[in-house]
Amino acid sequence: MIIDAHQHVFWHKKNDADLVADLDAQGIDKAWLLTWEIPPTEDAIHYVPAFNPLHMRPDGTHPGLPFADAYAAARKYPERFILGYCPDPNIEQAPQWFENAVKMHGVRICGEWKYRMLVDDPRNIELFRKAGELNCPAVLHFDAPYIMGKESGRMEYFRLWYGGTMDNLESVLKACPQTTFLGHGPGFWREISGDAASNPDIYPKGPVAPGGKVTQLLEKFDNLYCDLSAGSGCMALTRDPEHARNFLTDFADRILFARDYYGSDLPDALKSFDLPADVQEKINFRNALKLVPL
C-alpha cells in the first residue's frame, strides 16, 4: 500500500481524473488532498501556469488551490482522497472555519499551511491548537526569508518566503505540543544540512553536512514529522544517498511518502536507497495511517 501525503487537484494542467490516473500509474492507493488558500495581498503570479483559470479574480490575482476544488474531487473519488483544508489564519475566525470543515465535510488534515507570515504568529498558534484538538495533523510549507547572496556574500531578502526560519518552527512545536506538524518545502529541506545558512542555493546540492536543524528538531520534538514532497524533499535525499539512507532509517517512524506533484521521481529515489522492508512500509503508508487512520 502507498499513501501520497501531499497532493493537489486542478493543478499543473491536470484535473481530478488526471490525478487519479497518475495515482493508478504509480501504484498509489490514496492521497491527502490539500488546499493552498492565497490571500489577495500575497502575490503568487509565478504560479499562474499551474492554477485553475475558473478561479481567477477580476484583478488578475488568484486564490490558489481553494477548498471547493478539493472538496469536489474528494466527493467524486471518496475511495482515493483524504480531504485537507487550511483557512487563511489572517481571518480571525480561521479556527472556527477549520472546525466547521472537519465537522461538516470530513476534513482530516490542516493543510497546506502556506502563508507569508511567521509560523509562530499567535493567529497560527490558535489555528494549530484547534487542529490538534480535532486530531488533525498540520502540513507546513517553508521558504527561507533570507538566503546567502551568491555575489554579495551576505544574507539577502527572499521576497517569496513562507513561514520563517527553523527557529520559528521550533517555537510553534513548543507552543502546540498536542499538534502533529509535517515540515515541507525548500526552506525546510535545505536545513537537513548543517551548512544551510551559508549555502546560496534554494535547492542545495552536494553532500549533507552534519548538524542540520531538521535532524536537531526531529530529535528534540516528537510532534515533528517530515513530508518528502516536491523537488525539495526528493533532492534533499538524492543529493547525498548515503546520508539519505541513514536519515530515512533513523527517523523511519516520522517520514511520510508525499509528492506534491506527479510521476515517479520519489518512488524511484526511495527504491534506489535499498531500504529495509519495514522502513519502506512505514514511509509508504504506516506513518500516514498513524496520523490519519482510514
**Can you give the pLDDT of all 294 residues of the chain as single tens digits?**
999 999 999 999 999 999 999 999 999 999 999 999 999 888 788 888 899 999 988 888 899 999 999 999 999 999 999 999 999 999 999 999 999 999 999 999 999 999 999 999 999 999 999 999 999 999 999 999 999 999 898 999 999 999 999 999 999 999 999 999 999 999 999 999 999 999 999 999 999 999 999 999 999 999 999 999 999 999 999 999 999 999 999 999 999 999 999 999 999 999 999 999 999 999 999 999 999 999
30 pairs with which residues across the strands? 3
Nearest partner of 74 among 51, 108, 99, judged by Cα: 108
pLDDT of residue 45: 80
74 pairs with which residues across the strands? none
The C-alpha atoms of residue 82 and residue 104 are separated, in whole angstroms, by 14
The C-alpha atoms of residue 71 and residue 199 are separated, in whole angstroms, by 40
Contact 214, 192 (CB under 8 A): yes
Give me the domains of the chain, ranges plus CATH numbers. 3-291 (3.20.20.140)
pLDDT of residue 40: 85
C-alpha grid cell, residue 34? 490539500
Question: Following CA atoms 73, 74, 77, 81 in sequence, which dihedral angle do they give, to the nearest 10 degrees?
Answer: 120
C-alpha atoms less than 13 angstroms from C-alpha of 209 in its C-beta half-sphere: 13
pLDDT of residue 231: 92
pLDDT of residue 54: 92
Kindly report the backbone phi and psi dihedral angles of residue 259, in degrees, each rounded to the nearest multiple of 5, phi listed first: -115, -40
**Length of the chain, please?**
294
Report angle CA 204, 9, 262 to the nearest 5 degrees: 45
Contact 52, 70 (CB under 8 A): no
C-alpha grid cell, residue 89? 489564519
Q: Which residue, chain included where needed, has cell 494549530?
A: 128
How remote is the C-alpha of 21 from its chain's centroid? 22
Asked if omega into 112 is within 30° of 0 (cis), the reply is yes
Can you state the angle between helices 241-250 and 230-238, rounded to 10 degrees? Answer: 110
Spatial neighbors of 134 by CB under 8 A, at least 6 apart, are 98, 99, 102
pLDDT of residue 158: 93
The C-alpha atoms of residue 119 and residue 89 are separated, in whole angstroms, by 10
**Strand (E) positions, the chain?**
3-7, 30-33, 36-37, 64-65, 81-83, 110-113, 138-141, 146-148, 155-157, 181-184, 224-227, 255-256
